[in-house]
Amino acid sequence: MRIKWFSLVRITGLVLVLTYHFFQTQFTGGFIGVDVFFTFSGFLITALMVDEFARSNNFKLMAFYGRRFYRIVPPLFIMVLVVLPLTYLINHDFVTNIGKQVAAALGFTTNYFEIATGGSYENKFIPHLFVHTWSLAIEMHFYILWGLIAWLVAKISQWLASGPRALTHFRWGLGILTTVYAVESFGMMFLGAGGLKDFSPVYFSSLTHCFPFFVGGLIGVLSGIKVQGPMYRWTTAHSNPIIVGLGMMISFILLVTMGYRMKFDALQTYQGGLLFATVLAGVMIYCARLLHDQTPNINEPRWITFLADVSYSVYLYHWPLYVIFSHIMVNWLAVLVTTVLSIVLSALSYYVLEPIIAGKQANVFGHTLTWRQLQLPVVGVGLLLAVNTVIVVKNAPQLSTLEQKLWVSGIYQDIDKIKTTHDAVLASVAPNKKQGAGKVNQTKTPGVSIIGDSVTLGTRSYLGDHVPNSNIDAEGDRTMDLAYKVMMSQQRSHTLRQYVVICIGTNALDDYEKQTMKLIHDLAPGHKLILMTPYNAQADADWNSSKLAVLERGLPAKYKFITVADWGKIAAQHPEIFNGTDGVHFGGIPAGDVLYAKVINQALQAAKKTPVK
């Protein structure tokens, strides 16, 4: 039994997710589309469980697992095989560690793989091609456990009673458990998010992010599909298509609004935002179910049904295709090519390959296709793609060029720190010969102290050779408050040099202005400060990094000892140094090293004309 208007719920979830991935800086909260999918899956699976028990007074666990397997696994395998040949179009760095990514995707453990490797959709380096399969992992975990629990509840219900009473026990059992599990899961997310700066662990975890399934499951128990519950019958008697349609529309508008306003790195997202999105998805589902019964003479448009049919496979294809195409063409064209190709490949998968794999006939434009007709081309192409997968995995690097560069730079930096500490200790105990014994030299150490983040770390070796008399301290994910601690540590140990270059800001937090002013205020007299504006090719004007750059450009007018090295402006004029990168780091691209050092040296020349603090 196909319920009309459920397609709109699926399409809503798909559009939210696609818009988030395609236009992440504008549609910052579109990730809630996954919660729409989760809620709908929980509803549909649980409602079908109730229908099966009502029909046969039983729930067949292995048959349930079989249906889920054929719906989830074949499209996933096909997607992986089809996508990997396209990786030859982009930098080899994009297949870094691809074997583990493939294993995690096909093993339905991507969510925990991403937690372990520190990955996310907002990855700071090379995005994982299959990071989006984290949601399939949670979904599969839900199916396995919920199916087993439903089977146990069915057995207990059969033991307690028979006929309609057994169905009542089954409904009540599932209803209570969905409520308890939803509350527990959300409670774990609410408490677990407290104090986190990176929310990926609570977002990706099956334990903390399974509550949408159980909210949907509760709605499935209450409404059902063929077998309707008392609450659903009461709602049907006290509503009409206009009210129901309005409720569905308002929920959709609110979800889209949340897609524009919510942010992945905001605490309120995990302490209420995702739950509210789940509730809105539940309202859409319930209204769609009501609208089906209240519009018997209206047919769902065919294009809506088609998009709903292919929505799962479109979700599978769109992310890796977009990652690939967005690095070889402008964004609008990448979005267009990704969307069209995803739909075409998904239609081929859903209407032809999946039925054949499941042992059924495929119907394409009125023509029936069987396994015997497609056996040779399907097996032949499948073997070629499988061989290519082995080759790609075998030849994939374990570390990207940037990661290698950061790793090596980090080792050399640690060596330099040991030497610097050694020199500082000697300087602190040795008397200054010019001033006489017992007097410590308080003059500022000549030269340049560069304090930076991962961008600076990636070019550290080149900087050290091309910025005269410089000492570099750089680290990935460094924010302004952490840069302040490094500066103050060097200041206390008298190793902070006269020219202080702060290359921080790509990872700017909400308190960027407060931290920047604190750094300026606590810099000891006798120094000159150079602030290097951050650059991120994806950043909009409302990003913290962009607002920090605006703040920094205005500081020399107020503080004469400050000079701005406008990397944000200069880098934007040279997009070629970011080809094949994340738009922030250029590690491994020599032209980027040259330009970065040039911007710092020009600022140092300008700073010679300014007074010290």
534: left (phi over 0), alpha (psi -120 to 50) or beta: beta
Question: In angstroms, rounded to a whole number, what is the distance separating the alpha carbons of residues 317 and 304?
Answer: 19
**Which residue, chain included where needed, has tokens 């905001």?**
266
Residue type, position 514, single letter? K
DSSP letter at 436? Answer: -
Question: How far is CA 435 from its chain centroid?
Answer: 59
Question: In angstroms, rounded to a whole number, what is the distance separating the alpha carbons of residues 100 and 98?
Answer: 5
277 in Cβ contact with 259 (< 8 Å): no
pLDDT at 123 over 80: no
Question: In angstroms, rounded to a whole number, what is the distance separating the alpha carbons of residues 351 and 312?
Answer: 13
Q: What is the overall mean pLDDT for the chain? A: 89
Q: Residue 473, SS3?
A: strand
Residue 224 pLDDT grade (very low, low, confident, very high; cuts 50, 70, 90): confident
Contacts of 81 (CB under 8 A, 6+ apart): 382, 385, 386, 388, 389
Beta strands in 138-225 (DSSP E): none
399: left (phi over 0), alpha (psi -120 to 50) or beta: beta
Residue 404, burial from CB neighbour count under 10 angstroms (0-12, 13-18, 19+)? middle
| pLDDT, mean of residues 234-254 | 92
Long-range CB pairs of 513-518 (<8 Å, 24+ gap) are 513/548, 513/551, 515/479, 515/480, 515/481, 515/484, 516/480, 516/548, 516/551, 516/552, 518/484
Residue 437 pLDDT grade (very low, low, confident, very high; cuts 50, 70, 90): very low
Question: In angstroms, rounded to a whole number, what is the distance separating the alpha carbons of residues 244 and 265?
Answer: 34
Whole-number pLDDT of residue 548: 94
437 in Cβ contact with 489 (< 8 Å): no
Q: Residue 242, SS3?
A: helix
Q: What is the 3-state secondary structure (H, E, C) of 12-34?
A: HHHHHHHHHHHCCCCCCCHHHHH
Question: In angstroms, rounded to a whole number, what is the distance separating the alpha carbons of residues 23 and 505?
Answer: 22
pLDDT at 492 over 80: yes
* DSSP-derived secondary structure for 34-46: HHHHHHHHHHHHH
Whole-number pLDDT of residue 587: 65
Q: For the CA atoms of 298, 302, 306, 311, what is the dihedral angle to 10 degrees?
A: -40
Whole-number pLDDT of residue 573: 94
528 in Cβ contact with 476 (< 8 Å): no
Residue 10: name the closest of 45, 40, 46 by CA: 40
533 in Cβ contact with 553 (< 8 Å): yes
pLDDT at 433 over 60: no
Question: In angstroms, rounded to a whole number, what is the distance separating the alpha carbons of residues 493 and 424?
Answer: 7
| pLDDT, mean of residues 253-268 | 93
Buried b (16+ CB within 10 A) or exposed e, 560-576: ebbbbbbbbebbeeeee
Q: Output phi, psi for 272, to 5 deg.
A: 155, -35
Question: In angstroms, rounded to a whole number, what is the distance separating the alpha carbons of residues 313 and 71?
Answer: 10
Domain 401-607 grouped into CATH 3.40.50.1110: yes
Question: In angstroms, rounded to a whole number, what is the distance separating the alpha carbons of residues 20 and 259?
Answer: 8
Residue 500 has which token pair? 């202080």
First vs last C-alpha separation in the chain: 77
Question: In angstroms, rounded to a whole number, what is the distance separating the alpha carbons of residues 134 and 155?
Answer: 32
Q: Go through the chain and tell me how many residues it has.
A: 613
> Crossing angle, helix 164-193 and helix 211-223, to 10 degrees?
150
Question: In angstroms, rounded to a whole number, what is the distance separating the alpha carbons of residues 601 and 170?
Answer: 74
- Other C-beta atoms lying within 10 Å of the C-beta of residue 451: 26
**Which residue, chain included where needed, has tokens 């809620």?**
39
Where exactly are the structural domains of the chain? Answer: 6-395, 401-607
**Which residue, chain included where needed, has tokens 């605490």?**
267
pLDDT at 346 over 80: yes
49 in Cβ contact with 63 (< 8 Å): no
Whole-number pLDDT of residue 17: 96
417-432 per-position pLDDT tens digit: 666 565 556 555 555 4
Residue 354 has which token pair? 């999946």
Residue 76 pLDDT grade (very low, low, confident, very high; cuts 50, 70, 90): very high
Residue 25 pLDDT grade (very low, low, confident, very high; cuts 50, 70, 90): confident
Question: In angstroms, rounded to a whole number, what is the distance separating the alpha carbons of residues 563 and 529?
Answer: 6
pTM confidence score: 0.81
374-386 per-position pLDDT tens digit: 889 889 999 999 9
Whole-number pLDDT of residue 370: 86
Question: In angstroms, rounded to a whole number, what is the distance separating the alpha carbons of residues 177 and 536?
Answer: 46
Q: Where are the alpha helices (DSSP H) in 57-97?
A: 61-83
Whole-number pLDDT of residue 349: 94
Question: In angstroms, rounded to a whole number, what is the distance separating the alpha carbons of residues 386 and 327?
Answer: 25
Edge-to-edge strands, sheet with 445-452 = 470-474, 445-452, 497-503, 528-532, 562-565
Q: Output phi, psi for 510, to 5 deg.
A: -65, -25
Whole-number pLDDT of residue 40: 97
Task: State how far the alpha carbon of 430 is from the alpha carbons of 97, 207, 402, 442, 536, in Å.
Answer: 51, 59, 41, 13, 46
286 in Cβ contact with 219 (< 8 Å): yes
pLDDT at 484 over 70: yes
Higher pLDDT: 448 or 416? It is 448
Whole-number pLDDT of residue 496: 92
